[in-house]
Each structure stands twice: as C-alpha cells, then as structure tokens.
Amino acid sequence: MNYRSIAIDGPSGAGKSTLAKRLAQELGFLYVDTGAIYRTVGLAACRRGIDPSDGENVSEMLPELTISMGYGEDGLQHMFLDGEDVTTAIRENEISAVASKAASLPSVRDYLMEMQRQTAREHDVIMDGRDIGTVVLPQADLKIYLTAAPEARAERRYKELLARGQQAELKQVLQEVIERDRRDMGRKTAPLKQAKDAVLADTTGLDLEESFQLLLRMAQDRFGMGECGNE
C-alpha cells in the first residue's frame, strides 16, 4: 500500500507543529514532529555534559542511545529516551539551541533519517521539520514551506513560553530566533531551504485560524478532498 505524505518545512516559530497537528487530525494522517527527535538527541547530550557541537563526542554517544517515538491515547507524539518519556523535558527553552547545534552534525542527521522514513512507509503522515521536503521525503505528495517574519515568530514563541510559565524576554527570544535561523539555514548538511516543488505559505499577517485554512486548502487541492477530508 502506498501511503500519502505531506512535508512541512520552515523556520522555528512559523507555527509548523500547531498547524500540522491540526491538519493531521482533520485529514486522519499521523503527525510526526521531527524537531522533537533532534531535541531528544540534544537532551541526551546535555544530560551527559557533552558539547552538542562536538561531532566526535556526540557521534560516540549515538549508539548508546535508545530513542523511540510513540503515540499516546491522546493521539499525541511522545518521545522516549532510554525508556523515559521526555516529551516535556525536550521543550525547555535551552534545549532549542542545543538541538539546533546537534542537528548540524551529519552523524546525527544520518542516525535519525531511517526512523523518519520508516514512519512514512507505514502511515499517511504529515511530517514537519527543516529538510523533510528536500532530504527525508523528496517524493512527498505535497510540500509546504511555512514561514513568517522573524519578529512575528519571536512574538509567538515569547507568548508560548509565558503561557507555559517560563521566563522570557521578547528581545532575547528574537535574537535566539535569528540565531537559530542562521544556523539551520547555514549548515552544510541538509540546510533549511524551500524545496523547488514546495508551495510557500507565509503566515506573517495571518492568525492561527487563517493559517490553518490556508494549509487545509492546499491539502484539499492536492488530494482532491472534500470539506470533511473525504476523497
């Protein structure tokens, strides 16, 4: 059986996970947040006191890790590191930068590639990340490059952190967003970029509902689905 796949790539804070999760629910696809997988590697390095940019030490660590993904009764993706559910731990703000550094390493990207491809071989998926349309699933049925201006993304991230009860300053969040963009777009291996055959969705002036409707229309156009996700 051939499963369908939607690749959603774009910079951090563009709303990928919120929108992809909702779109997956609407269409009955499995939502795969690939950033969570990189965050799990980042967390592992952090806990072991390994510099996430240190290719040699991180590569040595990888075979010692057991990383898996599971879906709870809530239908949400949970990440496990050596059997421990780290779904919440990987969302700490400092893990964002650590994950971005570890994600620049070719060994980390190779290590996680098969896990992502295997999931797409077994399910209809909406996979979000940075290199899904360009590297992980180059044959994806629909590729969306989801972006927004850095200021808009920083403001969303800032509100998200406050809502989670975490301390944050807008100026610093913006700096972190710009720094992560620079690293994610500038790295040698699988840099963040729009695939040639990806459609652009710029959500700068759009609220969440408008952004969702934009993506839903793109999926309906591609798969010929009716209002309720039926073909």
Written as one letter, the residue type at 155 is E
> Strand 30-33 and strand 125-129: pairing?
parallel
Least distance to ligand DC, CB of residue 200, Å:
18
Give the nearer residue to ligand DC in terms of CB position, either 124 or 131.
131
> Which ranges in 53-126 belong to alpha helices (H)?
55-61, 93-103, 106-122
Give the nearer residue to ligand DC in terms of CB position, either 162 or 221.
162
Q: How far apart are CA 189 and CA 106, in angstroms?
A: 6
For 63, list phi and psi in degrees, rounded to 5: -65, -15
Token pair of 169, please?
A: 């300053």
Least distance to ligand DC, CB of residue 42, Å:
7
Residue with tokens 């200021």: 151
Least distance to ligand DC, CB of residue 94, Å:
12
Binding residues vs ligand DC (CB under 6 A): 12, 34-35, 38-39, 96, 99-100, 103, 129-132, 180, 184
Least distance to ligand DC, CB of residue 27, Å:
20
Give the nearer residue to ligand DC in terms of CB position, either 118 or 217.
118
Q: Is 206 helix (H, G, I), strand (E, B) or coil?
A: coil
Give the nearer residue to ligand DC in terms of CB position, either 85 or 221.
85
